[in-house]
Amino acid sequence: MRALLDVHHETDRFVWAADSFAGLPEPDPAAYPPDAGDPHHRVGYLAVSLSDVERNFSRYEIPTDRVRFLPGWFRDTLPHLEGGPWSLIRLDGDMYESTMLGLESLYPRLSPGGFVIVDDYGAIDVCRRAVDDFRAKHGIDAALEWVDWTGVSWRKTAD
């Protein structure tokens, strides 16, 4: 996304990269029952450090001057994030909690005409359930479009 800003000569926009940089949190089934028993917090390769991410930007000669890294669990960071309006929200939270928190925290500041992309909708049942629950709760009926075999997107209509 950062490279696309350069390609399109966008100089006044930022990319926010929100991630724990430590993998996924242990499930909190009291607050998010669909996550009960979720094993993602035990999957070591899902933890990629911030320094590794920054090295990858450097490897591809992508500057980070307009990238804002937001490290921490989504429950601790996203509800307090100041920013927006957003033109694009891309979520890859795997879990119900992470997906729901991303939508609850960011969608209200998504510009009308902006897009939401959710990875794992077609691969992880609790991710799909979080998206479907959020859309039902907020009366979102914009068509879901498949991005690939697992990801979906939709375009926000006027508020």
DSSP type of residue 53:
H
Q: How far apart are CA 9 and CA 4, in angstroms?
A: 8
Q: Is 128 in contact with 101 (CB distance < 8 Å)? A: no
Beta bridge partners of 67: 15
Span 119-142, pLDDT tens digits: 999 999 999 999 999 999 999 999
Instruction: Count, in order, helices (H) and strands (E) of the chain.
Output: 5, 6
Per-domain residue ranges of the chain = 2-155
- The larger pLDDT score, comparing residue 103 to residue 5, is at 103
- Asked if residue 56 has pLDDT above 70, the reply is yes
C-alpha torsion sign, points 122, 126, 129, 134: negative
For 2-155, CATH number out of 1.20.120.430, 3.10.129.10, 3.40.50.150, 3.30.1490.20 equals 3.40.50.150
3-state secondary structure of 111: strand
Report which residue type is found at 59: R
| pTM of this structure | 0.93
Confidence of residue 153 (pLDDT cuts 50, 70, 90): very high
Span 91-106, pLDDT tens digits: 999 999 999 999 999 9
Q: How far apart are CA 158 and CA 22, in angstroms?
A: 36
Give helix 96-106 / helix 125-137 axis angle, nearest 10°: 30
